[in-house]
Amino acid sequence: MLGTDMSMDLVIQYGLQAASGLIILGIGVMLARFGGQYTHKSLAKFEMEPPVRLLLVRIVKGIIFLFTLLVMLQQFGIQIFPLIAGLGVAGVGIGLALQGVFLNLFAGLSIIMTKPFRVGQFIDILGEHGEVQAIDIFTTKLLHIDRSIVIIPNRKIIGEILHNYGKIRQLNLTVGVAYATDLSQALATIQRVVDANPRVVQDPAPVIGIGQLADSSINISVKPWVAVQDYVPAQAELYQAIVEAFGSDRIQIPFPQREIRMLNAS
């Protein structure tokens, strides 16, 4: 009977500890969630990048949850300070193993704070280019022209030469006309086509002029500005509209020509 009583006492003792630990853990989860929501609402009053706000919310929730775990462990009679010391020693090895993760984290914070580019802008870096879709703590996501997603670790971005186009890009179109063409008419026709396209941005103004005197044609450079998402469709629309307008105005687009002279050696 004595053994049975001791077993019951142990069950009651540890059962109460487990129950109180679960209650503390549940309260901690609720407090962490409430603290995260309150932090998010409070930070919404300030102008800051979404990744920064998300990071601060996660830090608050993590601190509350960590404190809850420590209180729960104390409830089970586990000495916290020796455990913290052991975790500190183990943390050195974990830090070395997660060195790349920490580099991405610090690089992400640097990008968020210095703002070399923002969401919606078109950038070119490390041989990759695209519209910035998201700037996370560890990675930056680009939307490629073919609608694929390019994910770049943030540590690869810091220290590299970055070309930021902003939210508009300049088309680089070339149209050839015959040497006998009335250039004023040709330029006026192209200007009319460019002005009529709704995708073309008027500020800054389109650049239209003679680009090259080629062997068989006078090449006219057409460089209007368009929004990043209109870069591909605007190019196709303008080329088609220019060809149709040249046909209506009887402006000739020449074919490559070569003059061959046969000399009689006899």
173, 239 Cβ separation under 8 angstroms: yes
246, amino acid identity = F
Q: Tell me: do 117 and 45 sit in the same domain.
A: no
pLDDT, residue 2, reads 44
**What mean pLDDT do residues 203-226 have?**
91
Domain range for residue 186?
A: 168-249
Higher pLDDT, 231 or 38: 231
Query: Do residue 151 and residue 141 come from a single domain?
Result: yes
Tell me, yes or no, whether 107 lies in a domain: no
The fraction of the chain above a pLDDT of 90, given in percent, is 25
202 and 142 within one domain = no
Instruction: Mark whether 180 and 160 lie in a shared domain.
Output: no
Summarised one tens digit per residue, pLDDT across range 150-166 is: 999 988 888 888 899 88
**2 within some domain:** no
* Claim to verify: residue 68 and residue 39 sit in the same structural domain: yes
**How far is the C-alpha of 30 from the C-alpha of 32, rounded, in Å?**
5
Closest CA to 111 of 63, 49, 21, 163: 49
**Domain finish residue from 36, 62, 97:** 97
Q: Are residues 42 and 70 in the same domain?
A: yes
174 and 130 belong to one structural domain:
no
Residue 261 lies in a domain: no
Number of domains in the chain: 3
Question: pTM above the 0.75 mark?
Answer: no
Lookup: tokens for 100: 């790349």
Residues with Cβ < 8 Å from 254, sequence gap 6 or more? 176, 177, 178, 179, 216, 217
Does residue 254 form part of some domain? no
CATH number at residue 21: 1.10.287.1260
* Domain shared by 84 and 17, yes or no: yes
259 part of a folded domain: no
* 103 domain-assigned: no
- Is 262 domain-assigned? no
- Whether 266 is covered by a domain: the verdict is no
Residue 126 near residue 80, CB atoms below 8 Å: no
> Model confidence at 11, in pLDDT bands (50, 70, 90)?
low
188 and 157 in a single domain? The answer is no
Identify the CATH number of the domain in which residue 185 sits: 3.30.70.100
Contact assessment for residue 130 and residue 150, using Cβ atoms and an 8 Å cutoff: yes
**Mean pLDDT to the nearest integer, 180-199:** 92
Let me know whether 177 and 153 are in one domain: no
- In the predicted model, what is the mean pLDDT of the chain? 79
Are residue 17 and residue 74 in the same domain, yes or no? yes
CATH code: domain of residue 123: 2.30.30.60
Please indicate, yes or no, whether residues 152 and 178 belong to a single structural domain of this protein: no
